[in-house]
Homo-oligomer: A and B are copies of this chain.
């Protein structure tokens, strides 16, 4: 039988970026070339850009091995990202028709989408549409999210690097807090991303060790947040030590389901310019503690720093991210569609992992949260089992390529 002629691969990045998402892109690119595909197209700003025919030929942007290494170390989505939910097939047929027409024009055999829950929903719908219409294009998802909330995979690419950056910064913040003794004490509230899943917030506990006490309290969004209980705990801690450091998820809610971040703006304050003032979870709690306990407080938000800090990445994470990109192309090349690459932990000590392929229908729109038994009884810290799960994922570094004192990234990003 004649070997089937291979045409082109297209790859896109979707959702909130991570420090590892470009390692997956590098894995996709290198594997597609190695497996004999003619061209590797990149969607500029994901499927939203693709629908506007905004695509690039990646070989024009990645010229040599050094470029591949720079790409791995480049923060954010190199191709640009989007937040675009594909319509249900029966409600938006014209979108699918347009999309598949563009893919046919580009002679696409393989469609790889690197992203989180919403992106896997895109893979699911597109692969379903391909089956319905008899298209031979293979759709495979490559996982990505700092939130670590995807089902079936042991963990997600991007999580380990974000956890490493956060634990590193928390150690530094704890030292900083301790050094200035403040009369009446001080409470520092650190806000971490993860609206429904507390994986990253829990990772602040990695700071604890021989050289650091770690945070005093950690609140995940998996459990209801007791505002009064929190104030009482801070009051007690301030009697024992002069600086108290608390980590909270941006998504903690009170027992009646209200986001803590919404409590502060509930009264719809409008300032002199007519702007509604919104405050984050940490800012709200810092103001609350200052008012209730009369001590100095400070709110620290990691903001986008935690998902973009490519200067402080985990080698394990970047390696696995690359491997997920490789595995996605391999699966599609071997005929899989409607699948997502998962990471399987094959050994705890020493840590080892491999990749596997799972049906994307079992993954899309599911959220994996921290199990109750990995949070302590009081609901204000994670357990040792949690830490044993996370610690292997922050090991090793992929040092930046430094030029003139700063980490060098691949070009200025895609410019169309």
Contacts and interface: CB of A to CB of B under 8 A. Distances in A.
Interface residues of A, number: 86
28 contacts: A48-B181, A75-B171, A76-B172, A76-B178, A77-B179, A81-B180, A167-B406, A171-B407, A173-B304, A206-B406, A210-B412, A211-B408, A211-B411, A212-B409, A263-B273, A264-B277, A267-B271, A267-B272, A269-B277, A273-B292, A275-B288, A279-B283, A300-B301, A300-B304, A300-B305, A301-B303, A312-B312, A391-B404
Contact of A272 (B172, B263, B283, B412): B263
A49 to B, nearest CB: 8
A405 B287 CA distance: 34
A213 interface: yes
B168 A311 contact: yes
* Copies of the protein in its oligomer: 2
A189 B364 CA distance: 34
A209 interface: yes
A308 interface: yes
Contacts of A275: 287-288, 290-291
Interface of A: 13, 16-17, 45, 48, 74-77, 80-83, 164, 167-169, 171-173, 175-181, 206-207, 209-213, 263-267, 269, 271-279, 283, 287-288, 290-292, 298-301, 303-305, 307-312, 314, 391, 394-397, 399, 402, 404-413
A45 B406 CA distance: 34
Contacts of A314: 405
B279 A287 contact: no
